[in-house]
Amino acid sequence: MTATAPPVLVLAGTASSVGKTTIALGLIEALRARNLVVQPFKVGPDFIDASLHAVAAGRPSYSLDGWMCGREQVIDTVASRGAGADLCLVEGVMGCFDGVDGVSEDGSTAQVAKWLDAPVVLVVDAGAQSRSAAATVLGFERFDPHVNVAGVIFNRVGGDLHAQWLADAVRATCRARVLGAFRSDEALALPERHLGLVTGAEGVLTEERRRRLAEACARWLDLDALRHLARPSVPARASRPPAPGAPRARIGIARDVAFQFYYPENLDLLREAGAELISWSPLDDPVPPDVDGLYLGGGYPELHAARLSANRAALDGVRKMAEAGRPV
């Protein structure tokens, strides 16, 4: 018996910094408030946005990296990790058609949307325009006819009249359905630093911010219409179970605010191969765990250099493991 294919929707932007992540988080929170299961994904090599998704969704967010992993892996990830979800929400990267260069679609959100045969909802920063926004939407609709730009969400909208002008302009000119207009609200903005947003592990998604995001989406966006746009596009497949029996290896995973950049699928694959994963904190734990090897992911260790340097016992423990020939 074949499982039901998960409905998929891609949330793309006209450019970077148009509010894709803020709106994605609000959608996840608002749909969860309706007791729906949302499985998030993020296009491209990205750890930060996915970490925020995971907080909002209460489950890992998986990266869809077409450039490094290819078409089949992207499709397989959505099929397996999205099985059983009410909606697979894929947040794009940069602008919809931006990728590894200026002439191909490689590495772009558009490429992933085409591979998944998934409708695209376009986020438009309309803070300094009204009717001109329709020209932008029309251009995205026509740029690649194989990309189904099915809906549009306006961001940084000044008020009801501004929202009405935007909607009238798009409805008069474009195919895409207007799903709503997010108002300008600094309280909903996510703090940033070099390399992007502040991470989910640092507590930026407080209960209050999550509540406000959910309320904003429920108020300003047509959630029913958005769900109606989503459609099953890849056959569902169950995730692979962990290898049975005793662990083949015990691996220490450095996890704290200094070391937090991991692809959940990599950790899943280690478990499925028979590894037992043991979390530890190079910031706070006195020594590494007694394991067969250590996996130190990226993050912002430079922001915590003083504390890391002061934890001499942990540094000595890592050095001894490396000298003993255990993989680090």
**Overall average pLDDT of the 64-93 stretch:** 94
Band of the pLDDT at 63, cuts 50, 70, 90? very high
CB neighbour burial string for 174-210, b if at least 16 within 10 angstroms, e if fewer = bebbbbbbbbeeeebebeeeeeebbbbbeebbeeebb
Q: What is the pLDDT of residues 247-283, one digit of tens each?
A: 999 999 999 999 999 999 999 999 999 999 999 999 9
**pLDDT at residue 3 in the model:** 61
**Overall average pLDDT of the 139-151 stretch:** 98
User: Quick one: which of 35, 36, 33 has its CA closest to 9?
Assistant: 36
Q: What is the pLDDT of residues 172-211, one digit of tens each?
A: 999 999 999 999 887 777 777 666 677 777 777 889 999 9
Place of tokens 């592990």: 201
User: Quick one: which of 38, 85, 86, 93 has its CA closest to 64?
Assistant: 93
In the CATH hierarchy, which top-level class contains the domain 7-232? alpha beta
The C-alpha atoms of residue 202 and residue 198 are separated, in whole angstroms, by: 7
Place of tokens 């296009």: 43
Where are any strands of DSSP class E within 101-242? 120-125, 149-157, 177-183, 192-193, 196-197, 231-232
Q: Hey, CA dihedral for 6, 217, 14, 45, is it positive or negative? A: negative
Two structure tokens written together for 190: 């996510």
Contacts by 300-307, CB closer than 8 A, 24 or more apart: 300/199, 300/257, 300/258, 301/258, 301/259, 303/258, 304/257, 304/258, 307/258, 307/283
**pLDDT at residue 194 in the model:** 62
Domain extents for the chain? 7-232, 249-323
Ranges of H-type helices in 37-159: 48-57, 66-69, 71-81, 109-116, 132-143
Q: What is the pLDDT of residues 113-126, one digit of tens each?
A: 999 999 999 999 99
Q: Quick check: pTM over 0.85? A: yes
**pLDDT at residue 319 in the model:** 96
Mean of the per-residue pLDDT values of the chain: 93
* Contacting residues for 59 by C-beta, under 8 A, at least 6 apart: 39, 40
**pLDDT at residue 193 in the model:** 64
Two structure tokens written together for 64: 């869809």
Contact 60, 269 (CB under 8 A): no
